[in-house]
Structure formats: structure tokens, C-alpha cells
Amino acid sequence: MESFQVYEGHWNKFREPNPARDHLEAGGHICSLKDAFGYDNPSEIANLISAEKFEAALAIHLYKGGRLLQGSRIPFGIIFGGTDINEDIKHEEKHRVMGAVLKEARFAVAFTEKMKELAAAEWVCLYDYYRMPQDTDNLCLFLLICGLRRVKDPLYLVDVFSEWHRQEPHIHLVIIGPAVSYVFWAPGVHLLQEIPQDDLHAAVKRCFAVVNSSISEGMSAAILEAMDLNVPVLARNIPGNAAIVLHKDTGLLFTDPQEFVQLSKRLMNDPTLKREMVAKAKEYVKKHHSWECERKAYQTLVLRLHTNEIKNR
């Protein structure tokens, strides 16, 4: 059970119940709601965090609440308040502070698409994949193709990716899936709505590796397509993935986010391993998942049904 500290601006001081707190407590977390106007600087918040042993923080309003978490020893996220994007952004010093806060935040949430657009126009660290430079030679893109469903666990790697991105800004994770009803940000992590198959295959070919972080899989089409397109695969070590990915042979299997980063770095620094895995994966798909062989097999099965039906008449 994590303990969350929620900081909010004066505008929300007397609103009860507080939606953010209600949502967190419904999830089993202990949540302490504090008014940002009651604190003058980050050191006061640091002392509070240490004394109360808070494990995470959520700030409402990028400037009023977010500035107090700068240099925080615990992970934190930001919820835009409106005034921060519409008004505070016009002031040079506040703009600088808010940009610095966003670089430290694990994620940011906007209530509307318009608010997201305004923020993205000011801070390039929030740009979506489709706004990234078309020349990706200097970027290292990992691609996760899935719907935002619990079984796919698409946010499993967000924290380690954001931390890795802070250390190496050219590292990015792109999640492609059906549109969602909320706006999500995390440094180095980008959501992209579903795109046509041809465009998706083009994106796969341009990325460094395809990622699978599912809790459960039958047989991942995204993994097989990546193998067929000569792109490395890093998959969560679950039975469904292990059935088609042989570790360090046709791909890499990870058991936790930290191992994912370790294996990714190894792959980046070992072109021979990458080349050999890609070749073996291509051969595996050709041998066991050939489109022509599957088509012939299904035709044979259906023909058998038809033949048996005639015999039984």
C-alpha cells in the first residue's frame, strides 16, 4: 500500500470530496491532502515527506503544486490545473520552473485535448510520437503495440523508461493502440492511436525493438510480425511469449522492468547478438508460422469437413 501526498492549489481548498483522493483511496492507498499555499519551498515539503514517510506524490497545478516537488526524493506526477497552462505559462520564470518540473515528473495529466496541445507546444518533452522528427537516426524507439487493457499491462515499463529517458534523452517508448478517453504523459513515453497496417509495419521497421509487456498472451501477432520484419523482440517472460520467443536466440525475455532495461542496453551494445537473433527469429517464423503453410492447413481441414459431410449423407 503506497502513501500518496496530494498537493492542490487554493482554488480547490474547500472542495469535498476530492476526486483524486477518492480515486486513490478506493484503490487501497493512504492519501493525505495538503494545500500548496501552506508551504513556501521544496525543502519544507522534503521535511514533510521524510517525517510522514510518503512514498509518492501527486501535484495539482504545475506551478503552484509542482514547484514544491522539485528535487523530490519520491516519484511524483502532475495534474494540470488550467491556470498554469492558460496564465502562468506567460510568465518567464514560472514557465522555466514548470518546464523543469515536467522533466522530473513521471507523468502529467490534462483534462482536455486542447490543454494537452497547449502544453506540448511549450515543452518538447511532451511531444507525441507523430510530432517527433521524421528523421529518427538519432532516436532509439521501442514500440509497444497493444490496447490499453489490464491484460496487456501497457504501463508496466513506464517508470523505468521515463528514468532511462532522463539519463539518455534519445530513448523513447511508443505505445500504439486504440484511442483512450484520457490524456497521458510520461517523459520519454508516447501514446499513439491506431494506424493503418501499412503505416504500422513502417513504424515497426523504423524502431529499434518491439516490446511485449502483457500479463497473459495466447500468441502475440505483434511479436510474430516483428520477427518477420527483421526487428528484435523483447517480451515479458510469460508462458504465451516464451512459447514463441527463445531467450537470447530468437528474442529476449525479461522478468521485471529492471531486467528489461539491462537486456535492452546489452542489445544496443552488441550488434552481433542483434543480428543473430533477428536472423533466427526470421527463420523461426518462416518455419513455424508460414502464411502459405497455414493457409494450406486450413484449406485441408475445411476440405476434410466437407468430405466427411458427404460421406455421412
Report which residue type is found at 166.
R
Is the whole-model pTM more than 0.95? Answer: no
Question: pLDDT digit string (tens) for 88-143?
Answer: 888 889 988 988 888 888 778 877 777 777 887 777 545 443 344 444 457 899 99
CA distance 188 to 174: 8
16 or 167: which leads in pLDDT: 167
Neighbouring CB atoms inside 10 A of 139's CB total 16
pLDDT of residue 41: 87
pLDDT-derived band at 191 (thresholds 50, 70, 90) equals confident
Measuring CA to CA, which residue among 176, 71, 66 is closest to residue 129? 176
The residue-averaged pLDDT of 140-154 equals 82
Q: For residue 182, is pLDDT > 70? A: no
pLDDT of residue 252: 98
DSSP state of 187: T
CA distance 278 to 230: 5
33 or 147: which leads in pLDDT: 33
Measuring CA to CA, which residue among 298, 146, 129, 295 is closest to residue 223? 146
CATH class of 129-295: alpha beta
**Strand 183-185 vs strand 108-110: parallel, antiparallel, or unpaired?**
antiparallel
Decide: helix, strand or coil at residue 46: helix
From residue 36, give the alpha-carbon distance in Å to each of 11, 24, 61, 265.
10, 19, 9, 40
Give Cα 210 to chain centroid, integer Å. Answer: 13
Measuring CA to CA, which residue among 163, 165, 196, 193 is closest to residue 181? 193
The residue-averaged pLDDT of 212-226 equals 91
Mean pLDDT of the chain: 81
The residue-averaged pLDDT of 73-85 equals 84
CATH superfamily of 3-125: Glycogen Phosphorylase B; (3.40.50.2000)
pLDDT-derived band at 13 (thresholds 50, 70, 90) equals very low
**Strand 233-236 vs strand 171-177: parallel, antiparallel, or unpaired?**
unpaired
DSSP string, 63-110: TTTGGGGTT-SS-EEEE--SHHHHTGGGSHHHHHHHHHHHHH-S-EEE
* Identity of the highest mean pLDDT range in 70-84, 163-177, 286-300: 163-177
pLDDT-derived band at 18 (thresholds 50, 70, 90) equals low
pLDDT-derived band at 84 (thresholds 50, 70, 90) equals confident
Q: For residue 44, is pLDDT > 50? A: yes
DSSP state of 193: E
Q: Count CA atoms within 13 Å of residue 73 on its CB side.
A: 11
Q: For residue 183, is pLDDT > 80? A: no
CATH 3.40.50.2000 in the chain is located at: 3-125, 129-295
Taken as a whole, the chain contains a residue count of: 313
pLDDT of residue 219: 86
